[in-house]
Amino acid sequence: RGSAKKGGVGESMSAQKMEGKARETEVAEKVEEDPHKAFWSKQTDGTKVIADDPHLEGFADSLRYRYNQFVNVKRAIEENEGGLEVFSRGFEKFGLHRQSDGSVTYREWAPAAREVYLTGDFNNWDRRSHALTKDDFGVWSIRVQEGIPHSSRIKTVVVAPDGMNLDRIPAYASFCMQNTATTLYDAVFWDPTDEWKYKWEGPTHVKKPQSLRVYECHIGMGSNDPKIGSYREFAENILPHIAETGYTSIQIMAIMEHSYYASFGYHVTNFFAASSRCGTPEDLKYLIDTAHKLGLHVLMDIVHSHSSSNAMDGLSMFDGTDHQYFHGGAAGYHSMWDSRVFDYGKWEVLRFFLSNLRWWMDEYRFDGFRFDGVTSMLYKHHGINMAFSGGYNEYFGYQVDVDACVYMMLANEMLHTIYPDIVVTIAEDVSGMPTLCRPVEEGGIGFDYRLAMSIPDKFIEILEKRSDWDWDMGELCHTMTNRRWNEKTIAYLESHDQAMVGDKTIAMWLMDAEIYTGMSDKTWPTDRIERGIALHKMVRMLTYGLGGEGYLTFMGNEFGHPEWIDFPRAGNGWSYHHARRRWDLAYNEELRFKYLLKWEKNMHELAKKHPFCYDRSHQYVTIQDNGDKVIVFEKGDRLLFVFNFHPTKSFSDYKIGVLWTGNYKCVLDSDGWDTNGQGRVHWDVDHISSPEPWNNRPNSIQLFLPARTCQVYYCEDPDAPKPAAAESEPAVANGSTAQAKSAKK
């Protein structure tokens, strides 16, 4: 209680050593004094990242090799294809395209095929009337002079090397629909007339937010009713809720077509096709346009780490071989996911994926991507049965898939070059690979953010195995701050993973079955409900405030959604009961879920008025007292976060060391009446700092800390620089702020 523990989080974690701009300037001035940093900072061979992480020095050769491979592939693309900008527009060449004379061209890469034909509604499913011709690079093509009507179903007939006739869907198909007669998917030639094409109204893109507050969502689950929701329903009913709550970005799951709904969209069959379960391509454009008009940055959960093993309506065995897009033999199969693994060293695989990114950015106007399963891409072992202890030898060497690393470097290079003020890329990696979120030119892989995947796991472990008296404050702080220096992180308490069948939402862990009977606002709360609501607010704020440079939640968790996710399957009688979100709970004035939603809004409102969750934000943990169950840290511009996790004990005049001098006023309080608290903190009381050093800080204040509550104080000082301005209207690209304002109205 008296001082920060020696060697504790406040002292040792590099992410907490930033003392604002003055500290950054001091560090910059010391570069020349540090021979190690001075030497590596000047390198241009992919080893510049070593300047910030001396542990990488022993793996300089691996970094050089990886970077050289990237440079060589990029140079080859420039020499043979005209550069990444041209190479990534493969969707303009491959697939089906209507020409000015009404004819339709079709191109497909199938190097091992003996013959290829196009069939469908347009030729009464004649399997031999429209033969494609092959060039020297294994690309087959045809011009259908009579054209193909819009919305026609089509298939590709591939004659395999062994002579077998295979029905396939064009790899670049832009729309697919399930055939009710066969249950398999067919490609659909999507080419509506101008009258039926969606007319964009909002900005082309929304610029990347300074404070990334991500709302992860699944369109099919977005309905309150037990059914598959639609793009238009989501746009009209849920997007306003997201914007009003205070998020700056949405991350949409399961957009790429997948034949098995219960795969959550991760067993992709058709990479260029928007899922037809939720509507047409024009409907998806309406959703994204609506989001942009609300000022929301739109991210897509993209799956380039593996593919469905389906052959009849997927990429597997497309040309009759197992190694066209994928590794051949056992290396081409993911044993845990029952899916196919790509060979990123192949030229056409690179074209396919880089073009896929451009397609979603240009055709649908997505603003960025969350790359799924990056761990599986990084390593030849795909992370299977790997504990990842943190030893750097785990991140380099033969087990690394350098071709996959080069692909991700090319993808980030291409995206950040073409869309520099817009695109955001997020990596889902459980291994902790260093340099993942460092710039490509420095030797990194180039992502903007990585997900802090250890935070939800830690909270579930605590809630499942420990009593409230056994919560370890130092362990909590370590989990929140244990992230790589100079690599941005998105913190989250719950994503879709935490609520899958077999697990529980955080609200269910806290309140269990009483969440069904004890959430009425007309009755006095039970101890479990009172505890659950209090801790649900606290752990969200701790994660938001201390866990990273961005924040994410899965839809419904902002109001404590009570139930797990379970898609229709044979085991549950093909029920949609748990494949939806109970929005009615959040907006029922007679239920306490409304208080949890109000707390979410209050947190985001604080982040708007006094920004704290962004890159290079000041952060310093002052107290992590396990006896008192108290955590205190400074964050952002003059904000002090105070948490008392003690189950029963409140503290009067609790002395806290602070950096800033001035008047500390409460600007956020989990004990407020508006969020179902007890109103024990007086917001109008001024707390004037004293020049008495405490907790290794130059000043101190005394505060009242009610049990199981958290508060945020803002230090006012008329002589100090003004705080960072509140966020303005969302910035838009190729559009005006007025449009965003109009959308809000």
Print burial letters for 637-648: b (CB count within 10 Å at least 16), e (below 16).
bbbbbbbbbbee
Give me the sheet containing 687-688, strands edge to edge: 619-625, 630-635, 639-644, 709-716, 663-669, 687-688
Cβ 522 vs Cβ 470: under 8 Å: no
Find the Cα–Cα–Cα–Cα dihedral 361, 362, 366, 371, rounded to 10°: -20
8-state DSSP, 487: -
Positions marked active-site: 372, 428
Q: How far is CA 707 from the centre of its chain?
A: 34
Closest CA to 257 of 242, 248, 267, 243: 267
The neighbouring-strand residues paired with 620 are: 634
Q: Which secondary structure element, helix H or strand E, spans residue 418, and what is its range?
A: helix 402-418
Cβ 374 vs Cβ 429: under 8 Å: yes
The number of beta carbons lying within 10 Å of the beta carbon of residue 540 is 25
Q: Contacts by 353-356 with C-beta closer than 8 Å and gap 24+?
A: 353/304, 353/407, 353/411, 354/84, 354/87, 354/88, 354/90, 354/410, 354/411, 354/414, 355/87, 355/88, 355/89, 355/90, 355/91, 355/94, 355/172, 356/91, 356/271, 356/272, 356/302, 356/304
Closest CA to 485 of 543, 542, 549, 423: 549
Calculate the alpha carbon distances from 634 to 376, 622, 642 in Å: 37, 7, 9
Total residue length of the chain: 745
Q: How far is CA 539 from the centre of its chain?
A: 20
Written as one letter, the residue type at 49 is V
The neighbouring-strand residues paired with 654 are: 703
- What tokens does 559 get? 């109001």
CA dihedral sign, ordered 240, 243, 244, 245: positive
**DSSP state letters, 419-456:** STTT-EEEE--SS--TTTTS-GGGTS---SEEE-THHH
Closest CA to 171 of 84, 113, 86, 100: 113
